Amino acid sequence: MPGPTTALRRVPWMRVWVAATWLYHQGRERLERNLTPPERRDLWNLMKKSGGRPSNLSRREGERFRALVRQGVTGRRR
């Protein structure tokens, strides 16, 4: 049975990127409610580093980015 990180990797990159961009532009309250300040900082740094391209992040960073976006949108931790 696939674990949570395996299922998370199956989400297309563009969907994750669009969700992250939406969070920063219009979902501020949700972001502040669902992520701690260090998590928001990590998300922002990973967004800047990726520049919208998954190849700019290591595998571990990509997984962290996806997990933070999921948590920011849904409020669920892993």
Position 1 confidence tier, pLDDT thresholds 50, 70, 90 = very low
Domain layout of the chain by residue ranges: 4-74
Q: Provide the whole-model pTM.
A: 0.77
Check if the beta carbon of residue 68 is closer than 8 Å to that of residue 43: yes
pLDDT in tens, 20-45: 888 888 888 888 999 999 999 999 99
Comparing C-alpha atoms, which of 46, 78, 50, 51 is closest to residue 65? 46
